[in-house]
Structure 1
């Protein structure tokens, strides 16, 4: 019998139970969506308004492990939705601050008020001291909420509708430290709608190195080198 897949996330049992439940709810929602939902812009916002289609659990494990490995203190999540992946980021930041010292925060963004409220409920369920205290949720138009009061950024998780992706990254770029990592979900399945963003990141003059990780639908890992 093979050993169960390793889970790097250090958290109490109730947090693991919460995350497993939310990932299952996300999978159920995704299975009910039309197969073209990632590639078709028509009606996408209306379709997704009450959905939270979380970052896949194995991708969340990777991003958590990456945040721990790099000692990330300040993380920006561009596209929070119901706050599932935010829990992983907050757990990583909390552990890093505990072991490395200093200050830090997960800056989370969400346009839809109802989604923001659901995210807050999930974070409270995970734990105010364990998770919620490490999150700065900025509700509204992210091109406004990310304009000011951004510290030096160690990691960006970008999982947002394509037209806003590149403008959001360009807002953050002056704050990316050398070695900062930008993660983009669905970089294979949604390559056409992320064309401008990926062209920017992969340009020889962009100052990034890039790697497409072979997760389902793709996961892009970009490192800011200058």
Structure 2
């Protein structure tokens, strides 16, 4: 990761912390990804050579920056979906500053509908960081779109364990998935599709 990308990430994280400290409405907070969770995403893409990466929940683009930098190295592409076009505009501005905008396509709308529209077994890595209570309604699309060997990453597995639990139960019940939760950021639930 080059210094320009790192500087943009650090800037957005600092601005988000200042903004969120004064914002009482959870839905208006920037809610950016923790730096160590970003490094984990970058590592997962790099180590697996993932080329087709999908992110549901762009926010202001910190996770988008990590993923875009990773797919730039693998020769891949990131598709990022968020319900709020304003945050995607902010994310795009951050990607332009980092020189990564050519590696990302944005979609605005419902994450579940976006997943339903993807081809079966077309995604190497899927990152979910949206409204967690909606995830069970998106099932089985998160696993359907993963290629064998593909990875599903779900943010906030510890910080919002009660909201992630219904999806975690579906993952645990699926015979083609093996999962673990790692103490990185606010907790990352990882699921590997074996078949």
Instruction: State whether TM-score is above 0.5.
Output: yes
Counterpart residue number, 2:89: 117
1:86 equivalenced with 2:58 (yes/no): no
- More helix as a share of residues: 2
Gaps of 5+ in 2: none
Q: Which moved more, 1:163-172 or 1:212-221?
A: 163-172
Take 1:202 and 1:29, find their aligned partners in 2: how far apart are those partners? 37
Take 2:144 and 2:192, find their aligned partners in 1: how far apart are those partners? 14
| Alpha-carbon contact 1:18-1:126 (below 8 Å) kept | yes
Counterpart residue number, 1:134: 103
Gaps of 5+ in 1: 1-9, 35-46, 98-103
Take 2:123 and 2:179, find their aligned partners in 1: how far apart are those partners? 18
Take 1:206 and 1:51, find their aligned partners in 2: how far apart are those partners? 37
Tell me the TM-score normalised to structure 1 length: 0.78
Runs (4+) of structure 1 moved beyond 6 Å? Answer: none
Take 2:165 and 2:19, find their aligned partners in 1: how far apart are those partners? 26
Take 1:220 and 1:193, find their aligned partners in 2: how far apart are those partners? 12
| Alpha-carbon contact 2:115-2:145 (below 8 Å) kept | no
Choose the corresponding residue for 1:188, options 153, 158, 170. 158
Deviations 1:21-48 (A, max 9, x none): 11112233444467xxxxxxxxxxxx24
| Alpha-carbon contact 2:35-2:185 (below 8 Å) kept | no
Counterpart residue number, 1:159: 129
Change (3 A) 1:144 1:216: closer
* Cα root mean square deviation, aligned: 1.9
